[in-house]
Amino acid sequence: PPAEPLTELRQAGGVRTIVLNNPRRRNALSLPMLQSLRRDLLHDVKSRELRVIVIAAEGPVFCSGHDLKELSSEDDVKHHSQVFELCAEVMTLIQKLPVPVIAKVNGLATAAGCQLVASCDIAVASEKSQFATPGVNIGLFCSTPAVALGRSLPRKVALEMLFTGEPLSAQEALMHGLVSKVVPEDKLEEETMKISQKICESSKSILALGKATFYRQITQDLDTAYKMTTKVMVDNLTLRDGQEGIEAFVQKRKPVWSH
């Protein structure tokens, strides 16, 4: 029989759900899995109908990180570089997409799987979820996951995870800012869709501008960030949906977005 697709894409009402679909391999980010995820993220991404992307997973493990079989000495350095370079490309792509990306986590997210959660714009987790970077325990320090982790968590929390490999509980991940919300497992779908549908009520073009600006300003010093965002606010007012939103507010009606 034909192999199951490594990721499944479904879309309805402006919400695209991409499901990591290799539970037998703990949804490991193998090279084919990364290629499939990238393809689904980029599919028709400029469509007016697409407003938000949700990344979910089949099975008890959200994502276990890289497939260690691909990183054995039997494969050459060129192959290893290809794996890590594509992973970095996918992680940075998430933040470059013109729509918000939500991680819907129900289970364990480790190493590059934890990196995937940290790279998303929003993360909603079930109470049973856990997050870890245990590479140090097998002699492969989680240096690339540390990039996303170090930008999501306080430094000392990130370093404790990286140095010990010990997991954070869902509540600890919430407390330190790795996830946005923690809910009971039976409420995970409902809460994720609630956030997604709220996002769908806004203008796609305004959200795209806002998301790009947020990630540009976050790496800048305070003065530079304010100078850049001041210009963006002015530019925002020139957009059709920027004017429509203000007019609708003044006229006490719902805006009609052009996206």
At residue 61, the pLDDT reads 98
Cβ 62 vs Cβ 106: under 8 Å: yes
Kindly state whether residues 243 and 133 are assigned to the same domain. Answer: no
Q: With bands split at pLDDT 50, 70 and 90, how would you rate the model's confidence at 71?
A: confident
pTM over 0.85: yes
Residue 27 within any structural domain of the chain: yes
Kindly state whether residues 188 and 213 are assigned to the same domain. Answer: no
Among positive and negative, which fits the CA dihedral 55, 57, 63, 66? negative
**Domain of 115, in residue numbers:** 7-200
Kindly state whether residues 105 and 12 are assigned to the same domain. Answer: yes
Residue 259 within any structural domain of the chain: no
Kindly state whether residues 135 and 240 are assigned to the same domain. Answer: no
Kindly state whether residues 132 and 214 are assigned to the same domain. Answer: no
Tens-digit pLDDT profile for residues 158-199: 999 999 999 999 999 999 999 999 999 999 999 999 999 999
Domains held by the chain: number: 2
Over residues 80-86, the mean pLDDT reads: 95
Q: Which element (helix H / strand E) includes 245?
A: helix 240-250
Kindly state whether residues 149 and 240 are assigned to the same domain. Answer: no
Question: 35: how many CB neighbours lie within 10 A of its CB?
Answer: 14
Tens-digit pLDDT profile for residues 42-55: 999 999 999 999 99
Task: Kindly tell me the burial class for residue 43, based on how many C-beta atoms sit within 10 Å of its own C-beta (0-12, 13-18, 19 or more).
Answer: middle
Residue at token pair 């938000």: 52
At residue 164, the pLDDT reads 98
Question: Is 153 strand, coil or helix?
Answer: coil
